[in-house]
């Protein structure tokens, strides 16, 4: 038992947290640049270099592995699996499939049409659309790297619960009439389920890594940059005054600021990391991340093409309220996880 | 040959369109390339991932930017 714990601890500190990299960058900053990492400038440079490299390494390795798994779950398969599910079971499986089906936000609309047009309840489609950006596999491992495993698992569980409950409410309200009518007349291709060779899966994974890195590298640098500034230049008492644990409005503020923002989860994590180190509540930070990833202005504008305003507003309300609840509960119970 | 590139205007869709046009002119195929960005039109073809390449009304490539080799194989018939 002790041995397993040791191995697990080593894996976590060296592979996920990359303590070796932290030490290496420290040597670089202190001996090459001649700056002390306990001082402001040295500290920010250390944070910036260490965090950027760490996130990029994890990102590339993770995306590769995850894409390989995802190549077994094209949306056609998700649709087929979901077609035979009824009631809340459909929402649960929809939310779970959302975490493993590969798709980028520019495909969310054809996907919505493909699912809904095939007769899946819109609630199931929404469960899928909520969980997909919120809980992807890579973000979970990154959360484990930056915080710890308990927090990562808790994040996944509440994210999926949010997707299931959100979708269920949308089904219960029978809002089908607020979907644009052309969605139901959409064509269906009975796709012969293609089986990919191992090489095709490897190529797919390689392309995913390239695509995603190309898409998110700027967000990561911006995120790490903001994180480094928060980490070393903004006094703790100012941050605590605005976003401290004892401020009830910290969570709503985080959600309100997060919704219009569009960023990848990889970009928001370094900001989250720096904020938590400055004493901001875990719930506040998680709700900010959730608001940024699950609801964003560009994706809402896209969604508006296929659903009427009323459904869109209901969707935003349900998800926001869910994130608020999650934020408050993590702030009050999160102490157990750190 | 009637070729349509489906996509709501993301970067990958533009790449696909350019690539299709290049292959067409390289192989001097007598084909007509049309970009479809209207979501209602895209829905009619039943594709769930964009970009997609539709040849004579049938979706042939879905959800990725095809490689040049793939396109040559597809269009050179």
Residue A184 lies in a domain: no
Average pLDDT over residues A278-304: 84
| CATH superfamily, region B2-65 | Glutaredoxin (3.40.30.10)
Residue A102 lies in a domain: yes
- The residues on B that touch A, with CB distances below 8 Å, are 7-8, 10, 12-13, 39-40, 42-50, 59, 63-64
Domain ranges of chain B: 2-65
Residue A31 lies in a domain: no
Q: Are A105 and A141 in contact (CB under 8 A)?
A: no
Highest mean pLDDT among A16-30, A107-121, A319-333: A319-333
Residue A338 is predicted with a pLDDT of 58
CB pairs under 8 A, 24+ apart, for B9-12? B9/B37, B10/A104, B10/A106, B10/B50, B10/B51, B12/A106, B12/A211, B12/B50, B12/B51, B12/B64, B12/B65
Reported confidence tier of residue A161, pLDDT bands at 50, 70, 90? very high
- From the CB of residue A272, how many other CB atoms can be counted at a distance below 10 Å? 24
Q: Is B53 a catalytic residue?
A: no
Mutate to test the interface with A, among B43, B45, B54, B65 (most CBs of A within 10 A): B43
Residue numbers in A near B60 (CB within 8 A): none
Helix, strand, coil fractions of chain B, as percent rounded to 5: 40, 25, 35
Residue numbers in B near A76 (CB within 8 A): 48
Average pLDDT over residues A232-249: 79
Residue A87 lies in a domain: yes
Residue A176 is predicted with a pLDDT of 81
Residue A103 lies in a domain: yes
Average pLDDT over residues A92-98: 87
Residue A187 lies in a domain: no
The span from the CA of A47 to the CA of A270, in Å, is: 9
Residue A25 is predicted with a pLDDT of 85
Q: What does each C-alpha distance from B46 to A77, A100, A148, B43, B50 come to in angstroms?
A: 14, 21, 42, 5, 11
Asked if B42's CB is within 8 angstroms of A106's CB, the reply is: no
Residue A114 reports pLDDT greater than 60: yes
For A162-213, the pLDDT digits (tens) are 999 999 999 888 888 888 877 776 666 555 556 778 888 888 888 888 877 8
Residue A334 reports pLDDT greater than 70: no
- Which spans in A84-148 are helix H? 88-100, 108-117, 122-134, 137-146
For A122-144, the pLDDT digits (tens) are 889 889 888 887 887 777 777 88
Between residues 43 and 82 of chain A, which touch chain B (CB distance below 8 Å)? 74-76, 79
Q: Give the residue from chain A lying closest to B51, CA to CA.
A: A107
Asked if A207's CB is within 8 angstroms of B64's CB, the reply is: yes
What is the length of chain A? Answer: 338
Domain with A240, as residue range(s), is: 73-179+212-336
For B28-59, the pLDDT digits (tens) are 888 788 888 877 778 778 787 778 888 888 88
Q: Give the residue from chain B lying closest to A77, CA to CA.
A: B48
Q: How many domains does chain A have?
A: 1
Q: Is B13 a catalytic residue?
A: yes
Q: What is the DSSP letter of B49?
A: S
The span from the CA of A97 to the CA of A135, in Å, is: 11
What ipTM did this prediction achieve?
0.70
What is the length of chain B? Answer: 77
Residue A324 is predicted with a pLDDT of 92
């Amino acid at each position: 038992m002790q041995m397993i714990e040791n191995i697990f601890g080593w894996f976590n500190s060296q592979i996920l947290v990359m303590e070796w990299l932290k030490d290496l960058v420290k040597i670089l900053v202190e001996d090459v640049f001649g700056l002390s990492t306990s001082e402001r400038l040295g500290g920010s440079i250390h944070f910036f270099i260490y965090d950027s490299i760490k996130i990029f390494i994890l990102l590339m390795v993770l995306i590769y592995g995850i894409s390989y798994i995802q190549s077994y779950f094209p949306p056609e398969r998700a649709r087929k699996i979901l077609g035979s599910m009824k009631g809340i079971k459909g929402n649960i499986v929809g939310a779970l499939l959302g975490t493993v089906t590969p798709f980028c936000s520019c495909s969310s609309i054809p996907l919505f049409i493909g699912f809904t047009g095939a007769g899946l309840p819109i609630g199931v489609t929404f469960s899928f659309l909520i969980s997909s950006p919120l809980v992807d596999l890579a973000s979970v491992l990154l959360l484990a790297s930056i915080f710890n495993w308990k927090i990562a698992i808790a994040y996944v569980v509440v994210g999926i619960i949010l997707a299931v409950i959100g979708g269920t409410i949308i089904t219960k309200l029978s809002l089908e009439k607020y979907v644009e009518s052309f969605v139901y007349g959409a064509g269906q291709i009975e796709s012969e389920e293609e089986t990919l060779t191992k090489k095709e899966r490897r190529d797919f994974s390689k392309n995913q890594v390239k695509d995603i890195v190309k898409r998110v590298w700027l967000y990561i640098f911006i995120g790490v940059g903001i994180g480094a500034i928060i980490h070393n230049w903004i006094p703790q008492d100012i941050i605590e005054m605005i976003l401290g644990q004892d401020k009830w409005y910290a969570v709503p503020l985080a959600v309100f600021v997060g919704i219009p923002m569009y960023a990848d989860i990889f970009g928001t994590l370094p900001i989250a990391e720096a904020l938590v180190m400055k004493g901001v509540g875990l719930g506040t930070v998680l709700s900010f991340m959730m608001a940024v990833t699950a609801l964003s202005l560009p994706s809402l504008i896209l969604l508006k093409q296929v659903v009427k305003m009323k459904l869109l507003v209901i969707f935003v309300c349900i998800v926001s309220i869910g994130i608020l609840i999650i934020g408050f509960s993590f702030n009050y119970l999160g102490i157990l996880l750190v | 040959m009637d070729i349509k590139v489906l996509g709501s205007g993301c970067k990958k869709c533009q790449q696909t369109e350019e690539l299709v046009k290049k292959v067409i002119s390289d192989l001097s195929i007598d084909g007509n390339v049309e970009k479809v960005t209207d979501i209602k039109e895209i829905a009619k073809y039943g594709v769930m991932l964009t970009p997609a390449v539709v040849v004579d009304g049938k979706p042939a490539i879905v959800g990725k930017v095809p490689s040049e080799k793939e396109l040559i194989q597809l269009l050179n018939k």
